[in-house]
């Protein structure tokens, strides 16, 4: 919650399915590229917001299936629920806004009279959202008649059709765009509005996001016709909205570069980390860079080169200690030396590593504590270590690189590895 009170340099608000998450990308590479970019260059001074039509149940299910980051704010159920942080604390002020001219019982009563509507799963029915499936050919007629019926009953509602099949009925004050407008107004009132805001989407229920004044917007290359049509009719001449050439999260990275909203080169796009230098180096980038290197080493995607091992050892304090989740301690030099024996041991296998919630706290003039969650996907299994690294700059700043002083890990509850003898980092 402390992060919400800062004036963000950049706030990204992104839809999930087919925008941040590419369901046609089994390797999740565009998502992993974005993750590395965000944690290395943006997490420390920016805000990440997920805005999804999914209910909390389906949102949590997606997080189990995909290597997603933890957002600072989550907007769910087509903009009817706003929560904060990893604990997903609800915004009660938003609930009060949505209660105006809304009666869920009347909505369910009136919609039961339409045989064309098929109720979605119980998990998708929320306090301020009633959701159905409807055939594409009948959608416009049903929406017109339903809107008239509900207005006669004294309700002020919004009916959203998206994805060629989903029909959501919400309070008039709800929606992805209204939820964002509420947040921006809240930040401005509290004196901490974001410097820049980028909205990202692919379907009809994202159109509201692009309607907010003074935001940048990206429709990913795979955006659906309904969103492209909305853009053609409402925002064709707006230079702050682009149709990306890249799909999903890769399109978001493209937009960051197009609008000059900050660094847009992901550490996963750097071929040789020996040449990887940052103008504005930060400890978070150092952590991300190492774990991308470590993944590639295990996958055999880089050469088993003594130069790399020597470089890693030079980046560690000679007395640096690594405390494993089991409590076992080794020197970092021992751990790096043991990497030689595991080069390429995950070649051709489903093996990925990403880090989440990378936050640095200065504890001296050139020393930081960096805390993050280190995730490892091995086959169908996921493991997570809550990790703390003490790190110091080689010079007066990080422009000359960093030295790792010590590392400590403990398992995240529910994501323990039964045999941690194979844990290296």
In sequence order, what are the residues at sequence separation of 6 or more whose Cβ sits closer than 8 angstroms to the Cβ of residue 210?
Answer: 177, 199, 201, 217, 219, 230, 231, 235, 241
Coil, helix or strand for 136? coil
At 189 the three-state DSSP class reads: helix
The CA distances from residue 232 to 139, 223, 228, 242, in Å, are 21, 13, 6, 11
Rg of the chain over CA atoms, in angstroms? 24
Sheet holding 241-243, edge to edge: 89-90, 81-84, 73-76, 47-51, 10-14, 196-201, 216-219, 241-243
Q: How confident is the model at residue 242 (pLDDT cuts 50, 70, 90)?
A: very high
Which two three-digit tokens encode residue 126?
Answer: 């929320």
Fold annotation for 101-171: Hypothetical Protein Ta0175; Chain: A, domain 2 (3.90.1070)
C-alpha to C-alpha distances, 247 to 49, 81, 89, 197, 388, nearest whole angstrom: 19, 27, 31, 20, 34
> What are 368's strand-pairing partners?
362, 391
270-422 in CATH: which number?
Answer: 3.10.450.50
Which pTM value belongs to this model?
0.92
What band does 56 get if pLDDT is binned at 50, 70 and 90?
very high
Does domain 2-90+175-267 fall under CATH 3.40.50.1000? My reply is yes
Residue-level pLDDT at 398: 60
CA distance 249 to 76: 19
How do strand 329-331 and strand 316-323 relate by DSSP bridges? Answer: antiparallel
101-171 and 2-90+175-267 share a CATH fold: no
Unique residue bearing structure tokens 């997603």: 68
Q: Residue 135 in contact with residue 176, Cβ under 8 Å?
A: no
Residue length of the chain: 425
- List the chain domain ranges: 2-90+175-267, 101-171, 270-422
Residue 139 predicted with pLDDT over 80 = yes
State how far the Cα of 379 lies from the Cα of 293, in Å rounded to an integer.
Answer: 19
Query: What does the pLDDT look like over 180-214, one tens digit per residue?
Result: 999 999 999 999 999 999 999 999 889 999 999 98
Q: Which helix (H) or strand (E) holds 13?
A: strand 10-14
* % pLDDT > 90, the chain: 83
């Amino acid at each position: 919650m402390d992060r919400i009170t800062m004036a963000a340099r950049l706030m990204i608000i992104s839809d999930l399915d087919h925008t941040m998450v590419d369901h046609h990308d089994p390797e999740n590479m565009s998502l992993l590229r974005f993750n590395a970019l965000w944690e290395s260059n943006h997490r420390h001074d920016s805000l990440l917001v997920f805005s999804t039509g999914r209910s909390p149940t389906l949102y949590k299910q997606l997080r189990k299936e995909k290597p997603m980051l933890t957002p600072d704010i989550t907007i769910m159920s087509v903009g009817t629920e706003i929560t904060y942080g990893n604990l997903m604390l609800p915004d009660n002020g938003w609930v009060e806004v949505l209660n105006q001219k809304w009666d869920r019982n009347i909505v369910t009563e009136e919609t039961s009279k339409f045989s064309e509507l098929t109720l979605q799963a119980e998990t998708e029915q929320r306090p301020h959202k009633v959701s159905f499936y409807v055939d594409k050919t009948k959608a416009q007629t049903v929406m017109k008649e339903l809107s008239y019926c509900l207005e006669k009953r004294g309700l002020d509602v919004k009916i959203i059709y998206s994805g060629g099949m989903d029909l959501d009925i919400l309070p008039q004050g709800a929606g992805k765009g209204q939820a964002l407008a509420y947040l921006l107004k809240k930040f401005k009132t509290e004196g901490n509005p974001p410097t820049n805001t980028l909205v990202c989407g692919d379907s009809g229920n994202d159109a509201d996001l692009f309607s907010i004044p003074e935001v940048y917007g990206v429709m990913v290359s795979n955006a659906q016709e309904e969103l492209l049509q909305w853009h053609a009719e409402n925002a064709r001449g707006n230079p702050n909205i682009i149709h990306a050439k890249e799909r999903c999260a890769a399109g978001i990275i493209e937009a960051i570069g197009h609008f000059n909203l900050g660094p847009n080169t992901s550490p996963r796009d750097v071929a040789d980390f020996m040449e990887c230098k940052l103008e504005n180096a930060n400890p978070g980038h150092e952590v991300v860079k190492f774990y991308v290197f470590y993944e590639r080493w295990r996958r055999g995607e880089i050469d088993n080169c003594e130069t790399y091992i020597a470089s890693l050892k030079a980046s560690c304090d000679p007395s640096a200690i690594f405390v494993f989740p089991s409590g076992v301690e080794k020197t970092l030099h021992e751990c790096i030396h043991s990497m030689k024996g595991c080069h390429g041991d995950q070649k051709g296998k489903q093996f990925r590593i990403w880090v989440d919630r990378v936050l640095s706290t200065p504890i001296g003039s050139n020393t930081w504590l960096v805390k993050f969650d280190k995730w490892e996907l091995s086959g169908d299994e996921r493991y997570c270590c809550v990790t703390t690294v003490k790190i110091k700059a080689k010079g007066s700043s990080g422009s000359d690189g960093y030295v790792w002083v010590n590392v400590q890990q403990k398992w995240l509850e529910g994501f323990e590895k039964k045999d941690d003898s194979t844990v290296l980092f």
